[in-house]
Chains A and B, each alone.
Chain A
Amino acid sequence: MSEERIQSEKMEIFLKGLWKDNPVFVMLLGMCPVLAVTNSVINAVVMGVATLAVLTLSNLLISSLRKLIPGQVRIATYILIIATFVTVADYAIKAASLEVHKALGAFISLIVVNCIILGRAEAFASKNSIGKSVLDGLGMGLGFTLALLLLGSVREILGNGSFAGIDLFGPNFQPLTLMILPGGAFFVLGSYLLLFNWFKHRKEKEQRELEAVTFYTGEATR
């Protein structure tokens, strides 16, 4: 395989988590933290970064041990590895900021059961090289963080009139409290999914039209 092709393949592995296979907006995985901790931008970003770290490190360890782990005990082993990195992330967040740790509460520990992480371990890291697995973890983790940030921004701005704790509209702003309550999370997520699907359909439609045009005009590349 040529050097260029390897580079573009690596780029694709990294980028697919951000957009094409975004874990939240496309695969609809890990909905529990997505809905629960996106009531503020800070919470969303910390949760996203913690998941990114756990995902990348567990992908790294799982892919480096993939030939040593027998298939019969792989799920148990993956869960053990993921739980280890979640515990490490939990201590690290507690050491970095007590307030953020308190705000996220039990959701840090619950990263263990986030299906994105076990999903990537089973579907990707157990079958691919260390480099590719790390890229996959980084891409998926960034995609997850981006999704959380998008939800957190809308919810905090509308529900509290602030962005990352900075007041935006002054004291006369009447916040839409519903947005930071659980119901608001469903509304915002639903709207984003609508937007993503609309984009997808539009792109597919354009693709179909393009194919039709090339068919009739006979300009298809051969």
Chain B
Amino acid sequence: MSETTQAPVETPQINSSRLLMAMGSVGFIAGILIVFTFQFTLPIIKANEKAYLDQSIFEVVPNTAYKKVFTPDKNGVLTPIAEDSEEPYKIFACYDKEHKLTGVVVEASGQGFQDVIRLIYGYDPQKQAVIGMKVLQSTETPGLGDKIITDAKFLSNFAHLDVSLDESGERLKAPITLIKGPRENDHQISAITGATISSRAVTRMIARSTAINIPLIYKNLKVLEEAGNE
């Protein structure tokens, strides 16, 4: 019998408590390291995120000295909230040094070619137009889809994008549409050649967001204007 069976592989006998102890100790060290790094970097990461958002808002609405954050309540009235509030639906009202409303910034997000695209756009109530757009987060294809962030010609679409409302004040006069080739009027966005899917995603996000938010802002314009003096 001993001829047919293989010689047993030598494994040192270790009792379970030692295995548990070893894994437990390594787990303990791992836990301490992770928690320590998390606690240490959290304020820095939060400050980075806030600075990035602030900078982006000021880029989208020029001449902004300070901003206030609002969120719509159940009746569709914009109410002020704290800047660091966890509320996901935020509308940023921007004011100049004379406490005059310079514009309103809205965040929009949607599915891009690869992953979710997050962006902000600035709305000027005087011009009834979108006056700027900045992509905050995207993983579009480098060199193609990511031109939605860098392409000057594409971004110039958002320097004046007509979102004026009809007489009822509840609908846009004309929906925002994407066009291949040069723009024919101010409510069209000219697509980037070679990045049609990403251009379409941005257009769709802005079209949807403006259709909901522009009437809301228009309805609450007085609230936003008065908030600047407080």
Contact = CB atoms under 8 A, between A and B. Distances in A.
Nearest to B46: A95
A46 to B, nearest CB: 14
A86 to B, nearest CB: 10
Interface string B22-52: 1101110110011001100100110011001
A70 B37 contact: no
B52 A73 contact: no
Nearest to B143: A180
B49 A92 contact: no
Q: Is the interface of B mostly helix, strand, loop or mixed?
A: helix
Nearest to A77: B26
A80 B30 contact: yes
A102 B137 contact: yes
Interface residues of B, number: 30
B142 A69 contact: no
Interface residues of A, number: 33
Contact of B37 (A40, A83, A91): A91
Contacts of B52: 98
A69 B143 contact: no
A160 interface: yes
A181 B45 contact: no
Given A95-B44, A95-B48, A84 B143 contact: no
A39 B142 contact: yes
Contacts, number: 76
A177 B143 contact: yes
Given A70-B22, A73-B19, A76-B23, A177 B144 contact: yes
A39 B142 CA distance: 7
A61 B34 CA distance: 15
B24 to A, nearest CB: 10
Contacts of B19: 70, 72-73
A3 B142 CA distance: 51
Interface of B: 11-12, 14, 18-19, 22-23, 25-27, 29-30, 33-34, 37-38, 41, 44-45, 48-49, 52, 115, 137, 139, 141-144, 194
Interface of A: 39-40, 61, 65, 68-73, 76-77, 80-81, 83-85, 87-88, 91-92, 94-95, 97-98, 102, 105, 159-160, 175, 177, 180-181
15 contacts: A39-B142, A71-B12, A73-B23, A77-B23, A81-B30, A84-B34, A91-B38, A94-B41, A94-B48, A95-B45, A159-B143, A160-B142, A177-B143, A177-B194, A181-B144
